[in-house]
């Protein structure tokens, strides 16, 4: 299937895309580079969000739903001053996953979230990326001003949120009223 809307821009439009992307903070860790998302990241995003790998995030999605999610996360930079970073290994531009600092449709509070491609799991990349973004998130939202929404079946994300110093907020869960969704509030203490 030909999908021309996914073709990266060229000419002056491409130059404008690069100019806008340059406003997104680049964050480096020992092994990783977090950068602005690009159209070239879409195939990896689609591969995650249109499969069972998206089960803890309301998926799997159709390709259109996944693209709308991708576009919402990218546009968040323009609308809210934070959004989604693409996680790459230093020396490679391939997407290992994404780190979110955003407030998507329906979220009562800003959220820090993470998702990796299957081949990147189990290597500590999500934790490394989240620890690197945590100071930025605290500057923007302050301690307690952002959360992680985590499906109760996602033990790996619960463990990471707790290592980052986040604590479960059962009062916020009760107020939200979404059974099976846990809310972890980030207070700024980092154990990992």
> Which three-class secondary structure string do you get for 70-101?
HHHHHHHHHHHCCCEEEEEECCCCCEEEEEEE
The percentage of the chain sitting over the pLDDT mark of 90, rounded to a whole number, equals 82
State the pLDDT at residue 133. Answer: 97
Query: Of 107 and 55, which is predicted with more confidence?
Result: 107
The 10s digit of each residue's pLDDT in 98-155 is 999 999 988 999 999 999 999 999 999 999 999 999 999 999 999 999 999 999 999 9
Q: Is 44 within a domain?
A: yes
Is 2 within a domain? no
Residue 121 lies inside a defined structural domain of this protein: yes
Percentages (nearest 5) of helix, strand, coil residues in the chain: 45, 20, 35
**What average pLDDT does the segment 148-172 reach?**
96
Residue 167 has pLDDT above 70, yes or no: yes
Q: Is residue 65 part of a domain?
A: yes
Distance CA 165, CA 191 (A): 6
Give a yes or no: residue 122 inside a domain. Answer: yes
| Residue 172 pLDDT | 96
Range of the domain at 26: 10-185
Model-level pTM?
Answer: 0.92
Predicted local confidence at residue 59, as pLDDT: 78
CATH number at residue 174: 3.40.630.30
Using pLDDT thresholds of 50, 70 and 90, give the confidence band for residue 188. confident
Collapsed DSSP state (helix, strand, coil) of residue 28? strand
Is 1 part of a structural domain of the chain?
A: no
Q: Mean pLDDT throughout 10-23?
A: 90
Split into its structural domains, the chain has a count of 1
pLDDT score at 44? 97
Looking at the chain, the whole-number percentage of residues with pLDDT higher than 70 is 97
Do the Cβ atoms of 147 and 169 come closer than 8 Å? yes
Q: Is residue 68 part of a domain?
A: yes
In a domain? residue 125: yes
């Amino acid at each position: 299937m030909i999908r021309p809307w996914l073709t990266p821009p060229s000419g002056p439009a491409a130059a404008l895309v690069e100019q806008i992307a340059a406003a997104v903070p680049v964050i480096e860790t020992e092994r990783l580079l977090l950068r602005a998302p690009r159209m070239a990241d879409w195939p990896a995003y689609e591969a995650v969000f249109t499969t069972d790998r998206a089960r803890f995030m309301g998926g799997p999605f159709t390709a259109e739903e996944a693209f709308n999610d991708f576009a919402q996360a990218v546009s968040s930079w323009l609308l809210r001053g934070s959004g989604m970073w693409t996680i790459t290994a230093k020396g490679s531009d391939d997407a290992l996953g994404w780190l979110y600092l955003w407030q998507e449709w329906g979220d009562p509070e800003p959220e820090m979230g993470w998702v990796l491609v299957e081949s990147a799991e189990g290597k500590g990349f999500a934790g490394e990326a989240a620890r690197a973004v945590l100071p930025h998130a605290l500057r923007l939202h302050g301690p307690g001003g952002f959360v992680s929404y985590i499906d109760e079946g996602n033990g790996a994300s619960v463990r990471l949120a707790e290592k980052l110093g986040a604590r479960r907020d059962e009062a916020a869960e009760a107020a939200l009223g979404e059974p099976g969704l846990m809310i972890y509030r980030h207070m700024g203490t980092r154990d990992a």
